[in-house]
Amino acid sequence: MRVLGVDPGLTRCGIGVVDQNLGAKPQLIAVGVVRTNPSAPHEQRLLQIERGITEWVQEFQPDVVAVERAFAQHNLMTVAGTIQAAGIAMLVAAKAGYSVALHTPTEVKAAITGSGRADKKQIGEMVLRILQLEKALQPADAADAVALALTHLWRGGATNRYAQLLAQTRNASDNQLRRLVAGVRSK
C-alpha cells in the first residue's frame, strides 16, 4: 500500500510518500515540502499549495492520502491557514479519485512514539529509526508528513491487509488462496 501523507500548512506543507507491502517493513519513497511566500496574496498561496499537492499525487499515485486533522490553536490565523491547506489536500485527493484519511496530531504522536504528548523532535527521531534512515528528515513538516503516512499504514492495518489479500487473490487457485488466508491469520 502506498500512502501520501500531508502535514498541512500555509507556509510549509509537508509531504511524504511511504510504501508498505504485506509482511514487509515500510519504505520511504519521497519526502518534501510545498512552500509558499508569506508576502504573496493569500489566494495565490492556496493555489500554489494546490499545484504542489497535485504534482505529488500525479507523480506518486498513492492508494490513500493521509491528512493531519486540524486542531484548535491559540493563533487563529495559523489554524485558519492550516485548515485551508488541509481542505486543499482533501480536494486534490478526491478530484484524483483517491480516498482520504484524517488523523489527529495526538493519534500520530501515539502511533509513532507511543506517547500522545511527544514533541516534534521525538517524532523525527522515531521516523528516522522506523525507516532506518541515515539522517533525520528536515524540516519537521516533512518528518510529520511521513509520520502521518506511517500512522495510516499502522492504524488501518487489518483493513489494509484485507485489501491486499483481495488484490492478491483475484486470480489465485484454491490452494494459493488457503495459503494466503493462513498467512494473514497468523499475523
Write out the catalytic residue numbers: 7, 68, 141
Task: State residue 114 phi and psi, 5-degree precision.
Answer: 90, -5
Contact 81, 13 (CB under 8 A): no
**Which amino acid, residue 19?**
D
DSSP annotation string for 72-97 = --S-HHHHHHHHHHHHHHHHHHHHTT
DSSP annotation string for 101-155 = EEE-HHHHHHHHHS-TT--HHHHHHHHHHHTT-SS--SSHHHHHHHHHHHHHHHH
**Angle at Cα 31 formed by Cα 30 and Cα 34, nearest 5°?**
130
Q: Burial code of 16-41, b = ≥16 C-beta within 10 A, e = fewer?
A: bbbbbebeeebebbebbbbbbeeeee
* Torsion angle of the four alpha carbons 146, 149, 155, 161, in this order, in degrees rounded to the nearest 10: -130
